[in-house]
Structure 1
């Protein structure tokens, strides 16, 4: 395992996603043949990573995604995939899950302390509150995806912030405690009145942001 620490002030991606895996296994052995069962719906997180990072041919260099694994034994863990630096990652669910399995087989770092496991893949102890605090300090404009909120176009039409991050949940809704935290840090925005799966929502966000950039 690489031991380089993520440094404050380091250039980070302009487009960010964070997804909460309420039952996702944070430590131990991950069975990549049973991501939805014993993995604690790890399949939802894997599909989110795929949608966040991969183009038809290549990886989005302007994007990263942090997955939050809150289930299983041991403390919560976060894994951060940086599209600008990651290599050896392929758009296949089992392959992505294999990288996650290698990370969670290692002891979780301290809360808020990022350790590079391999190029472009970091892990840290901590939960949603830690990520919100980190992104706030880094000047990220933060958005909670919520079908019942005001439309995306009412917030972002012709311009987008230089750094923007989107929070979404797995197959379970955000808890009351998580919603209290999110209300403090984020603006709720809707992609439409129908609830869609997380990886689909990420694809829609990319399309909307790409469309705004193409018009500039």
Structure 2
């Protein structure tokens, strides 16, 4: 099923993930993604799972990485436009590093860095506002939420965190949205995305 935004555009599946310790500017080593890059490896696996299938890419899916927590830089990967990115962590990390080496655009302004990869200033608050303006139905991934299969046809935008739980500011921003669960265990972000795809693919 495809949903239509208030502007008549097709809305695909969207994911937003927060990287609390990932640097939003400067540089990092591709050989230390789980350490010096602030657990960027968690976000890279999320991108890989969100966008890539065995022999192709999900053209109806976008994922936004929030670097430095919920108020620094955002990087959006758009499966419908993505070119030159291979489905492995090091390749994706190279593109992220190229972005963080460049100046941060103004808040709310999306600047294309390469085909299918854009970045913008701002954080989770801006992403939520943009999604709501576009008519997205937003759900928060939470092990204590309602089962995801209930009302799944009404949503296409999911918010999740990295290896750390949402902080107080993020919880405040997300408090107005429903929480959904895919089980009682706290799973890694990329596993949650894979299960969401599995459920939506079956509708």
Partner in structure 1 of residue 53 of structure 2: 55
8 Å contact 1:13–1:84 — kept in the other structure? no
1:201 and 2:192 equivalent?
A: yes
TM-score, normalised relative to structure 2: 0.93
Question: What residue in structure 1 maps to residue 136 of structure 2?
Answer: 140
Deviation, structure 1 residue 13:
4.5
Contact in 2 for aligned 1:140/1:165 (Cα 8 Å)? yes
The CA distance in 2 between the partners of 1:138 and 1:100, in whole Å, is 26
- Deviation for aligned residue 1:11: 4.2
User: What is the Cα deviation at residue 30 of structure 1?
Assistant: 2.1
Q: 1:12 offset after TM fit, Å?
A: 6.1
Deviation at residue 10 of structure 1 after TM alignment:
8.9
CA offset digits 1:20-60 (Å, max 9, x no partner): 00001110112111111110110001000000000000000
Other-structure match for 1:171: 163
CA contact (8 A) 1:17 1:64 kept: yes
Aligned residues: CA RMSD: 1.6
Whole-Å Cα distance in 2 between the matches of residues 110 and 13 of structure 1?
25
| d(CA) in 2 for partners of 1:10, 1:64 | 18
Distance change >3 Å, CA 86–CA 23, structure 1 → 2: same
Counterpart mapping for 1:1-216 below 5 A = 11=9, 13-70=11-68, 76-156=72-152, 160-161=153-154, 164-184=156-176, 186-212=177-203
Measured in 2, the distance between the counterparts of 1:198 and 1:119 equals: 25
Please, which runs of 5 or more residues in structure 1 have no aligned partner?
1-8
Deviation at 1:103, TM superposition (A): 0.6
User: How far apart, in 2, do the equivalents of 1:168 and 1:154 lie?
Assistant: 18
| SS of corresponding position for 1:79 | strand
* Distance change (3 Å), C-alpha of 1:153 and 1:10: closer
Deviation, structure 1 residue 183 = 1.1
Q: CA shift at 1:155, angstroms?
A: 2.1
Q: How many residues align?
A: 197
Change (3 A) 1:120 1:36: same
Gaps of 5+ in 2: 1-6
Residues 102-134 of structure 1 show CA distances to partners (whole Å, capped at 9, x for unaligned) of 111000001111000011100000111111111
- SS of residue in 2 equivalent to 1:150: strand
Cα drift, residue 211 of structure 1: 0.7
Shift of 1:62: 0.6
